[in-house]
């Protein structure tokens, strides 16, 4: 079974990205596939490699990057939402890419489930 995940809020201000990450990791541990996570609205801020949280806190963006590296998860940032918020190719963390909303619609069409995390 394939899960698509939609993240609608940025890191730290809301729990959404943390909940989405822990859900994705649990799904992968159970042997399900998470082919793609789509970042929309303020969720695009998760993709910034410029974030430098304190050492004793989790690094939300880097954690997504590592999950993608370990499990081949496609981390897609909505281009229109990213352009509004100043997220460009130049600031993207590892394994994030910018693409269109069509990538979100495709998750709904092709995967078995789409789970949304937001405010």
Partner 1 sequence: MSDMDEMEDGSGIVKKFMFLNRKAPHGTVYALEGLEVVLITAAFDQDVSMVFTDDGVYQLMKGIDSKGIEVKDFSKTYRALEGYDIEKLYVDQASMDARGLTEDDLIVDVTVLAVDEMANLMAEQDVVISF
Partner 2 sequence: MLHIVNKSATDRGSLESCLRMATKGSAVLLIEDAVYAATTGNAAAAKIQAAAADLKIYALGPDLAARGMAGRVLDGVNVVDYGGFVDLVAEHSNCQSWL
Catalytic positions, written as ranges: 78
Q: How far is the CB of 52 from partner 1 (least distance, A)?
A: 26
Cβ neighbours of residue 79 under 8 Å, at least 6 residues apart?
98, 99, 100, 101
The mark string for 16-35 relative to partner 2 (x by CB under 8 A, - otherwise) is: x--x--xx-xxx-xx-x---
Residue 36 CA: distances (Å) to CA of 8, 57, 101? 14, 25, 13
Q: Does 104 bind partner 1 (CB under 8 A)?
A: yes
Comparing CB distances to partner 2, the nearer of 13 and 83 is 13
Q: Does 80 bind partner 1 (CB under 8 A)?
A: yes
Q: Does 116 bind partner 1 (CB under 8 A)?
A: yes
- Which residue bears the tokens 């394994």? 95
Cβ neighbours of residue 30 under 8 Å, at least 6 residues apart?
none
Among 5, 6, 24, 87, binds partner 1 (CB under 8 A): 6
- Residue 102 near residue 31, CB atoms below 8 Å: no
Rule CB under 8 A: which residues touch partner 2? 1, 3, 8, 15-16, 19, 22-23, 25-27, 29-30, 32, 113-119
């Amino acid at each position: 079974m394939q899960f698509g995940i939609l993240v609608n809020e940025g890191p730290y201000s809301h729990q959404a990205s943390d909940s989405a990450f822990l859900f994705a990791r649990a799904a992968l541990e159970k042997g399900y596939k998470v082919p793609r996570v789509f970042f929309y609205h303020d969720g695009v801020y998760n993709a910034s490699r410029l974030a430098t949280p304190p050492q004793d806190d989790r690094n939300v963006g880097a954690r997504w990057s590592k999950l993608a590296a370990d499990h081949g998860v496609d981390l897609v940032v909505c281009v229109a939402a990213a352009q509004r918020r100043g997220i460009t190719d130049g600031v993207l963390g590892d394994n994030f890419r910018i693409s269109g909303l069509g990538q979100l619609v495709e998750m709904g069409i092709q995967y078995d489930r789409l789970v949304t995390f937001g405010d």
